[in-house]
Structure 1
């Protein structure tokens, strides 16, 4: 692959813009020697303004999504891509969220440009756990643990009952819920089915990958061990 195409596919600019970067001497090798568009170099040996290139496909990220930010690329307000380097929007293949967290939910969000991995993570067959912490408008009534674990709870407009879920009571209006599926607004709808309302919702982990000390709005690239951790609590497909 020509260097211009390689760098453009990583989102650093159009092919025309990348060609201009070559002419300006901004693209060098690891030793600092200026590269030209027809040179042949490995990905790891290329620098732009002295910085290594972003990872080639596949790129996997974890992001601490704050409240007020949406996962849609078409939303008029703040979107998750606003929290990432601008060039990430231009990568080819595209960087997509693995499932979604709604605007009012914070916590761990995964992004990848690997379609096969994305579908493996969200597939019901993988049974990957997702742990949420919820603050509620009303006190827990006492039977939530049993009802959520029963595998018999039906949500409005659904035709199949929910899979068993584990609820840990943290306080009168504070609970930790572990799911093995991902239906639309599932946590909020589960508590609504029992007459309660979720005031705030936070996703703490996906599989064996926890958010850790990543601050709201921060992100990092996932390493191989992180990808392995995602499937640690599920039956990988």
Structure 2
């Protein structure tokens, strides 16, 4: 028997089951077995999200890796094995992988103006100063750096527990803009400036800057360089290839974010608008 459909808030709802098809006309998203229905008007914390996102937001792995875990049958929701990739859960559901109980963390985004002398890692077996010391009071969640800066490189370094965004910002295909101010041991010649712009071949392949320019026509040992490559020590290696030593290297822009109002060694949290901007890149 077919049941009539009634209109509710712009969606069609099956009057028998209460399930709503998605806007594209697909089947209703599957609920995890044993999940409780959310009372009308309850806080957004109980809003349903896909299980793979819940797992990723707990800091275990990426969404793609979470899909593999779900399909392999090791993920339990409210004590029952779930293998359907479209399953949705809320913060009130108990999600476990093996003996590990997962909790969706609040996503944090912290922008640090890194000083010289700190290595980009959260722990160091040699007990050197790490960037973790500078952001240890930023939030209770475990956040990690997006990419890295050399020990003697200063400037912008983003930290987050949003694994999906971090992966996006570090993947070469997205060509995330990074701008550095470089101070050299001697003036950069116009021919070498052109060479950097057109590209040079290093031991690990060809690399070209997106933009390079003198910051002060009277002081040609200080230049600005825009580059999207994330290769290790890439800027220092470019200039070393041409016979220059980098005296100071400072990242002034990362993915459109700047150092404005962040003193050296200090940090700030990103605004919602900034986070949304990064997600659209």
CA distance in structure 2 between the partners assigned to 1:164 and 1:218 by the alignment: 29
Superposition RMSD on alpha carbons, in Å?
A: 2.5
Match of 2:132 in 1: 81
C-alpha contact (below 8 Å) 2:110/2:138 kept by paired residues: no
Q: 1:165 to 1:145 in 2, by over 3 A?
A: farther
Q: TM-score, normalised by structure 1?
A: 0.68
Q: In the alignment, which residue of structure 2 is the partner of 1:65?
A: 114
CA contact (8 A) 1:95 1:113 kept: yes
* Distance in 1 (alpha carbons) for counterparts of 2:214 and 2:131: 31
Q: Corresponding residue for 2:212?
A: 167
Distance 1:58 1:177 in 2: 31
**Could you tell me which of 116, 131, 135 is aligned with 2:164?**
116
TM score, norm. by length of structure 2: 0.58
Deviation sequence 1:167-195 (CA, Å, 0-9, x none): 11122210000002111001101111110
Offset of 1:71 from its aligned partner? 1.1
SS at match of 2:200: coil
Change (3 A) 1:192 1:230: farther
Higher relative contact order (CA 8 A, sep 6+): 1
Which position in structure 2 is the counterpart of 1:218?
A: 266
Name the CA distance, whole Å, in 1 between partners of 2:138 and 2:245: 39
- Could you tell me whether the CA contact under 8 Å between 1:100 and 1:109 is conserved in 2? yes
In structure 2, how many angstroms separate the alpha carbons of the residues matched to 1:71 and 1:164?
23
Distance 1:113 1:193, change over 3 A: same
Shift in Å, 1:228: 4.1
- Structure 1 distance, partners of 2:183, 2:191, is 17
1:147 aligns to 2:195 (yes or no): yes
What 5-or-longer segments of structure 1 have no aligned partner? 2-8, 10-41, 43-55
> After the TM superposition, which segments of 4 or more aligned residues of structure 1 sit over 3 Å from their partners?
85-88, 228-232
Q: How many residues align?
A: 177
Kindly indicate whether residue 115 of structure 2 is the aligned counterpart of residue 98 of structure 1.
no
Q: Per-residue deviation at 1:70?
A: 1.3
Q: Secondary structure at the match of 1:135?
A: strand
Answer yes or no: is the 8 Å Cα contact 2:183–2:247 preserved in 1: yes
How has the CA–CA distance of structure 1 residues 165 and 87 changed in structure 2, closer, same or farther, with 3 Å as cutoff? closer
Q: Does residue 132 of the first structure (1) align with residue 171 of the second (2)? A: no
Q: 1:164 to 1:105 in 2, by over 3 A?
A: closer
Q: Distance in 1 between matches of 2:220 and 2:150?
A: 25
Equivalent residue, structure 2, for 1:196: 244
Any conservation in 1 of the 2:155–2:252 contact (CA below 8 Å)? yes
Q: In structure 1, the residue corresponding to 2:183 is in which secondary structure?
A: strand
- Secondary structure at the aligned position of 2:112 is classed as strand
Change (3 A) 1:193 1:231: farther
Instruction: Please tell me whether the aligned partners of residues 166 and 177 of structure 1 are also in contact (alpha carbons under 8 angstroms).
Output: yes
Query: For the residues of structure 2 that align with 1:143 and 1:68, how far apart are their CA atoms?
Result: 33
Q: Match of 2:235?
A: 187
Cα distance in 1, alignment partners of residues 138 and 181 from structure 2: 33
How far apart, in 2, do the equivalents of 1:225 and 1:85 lie?
24
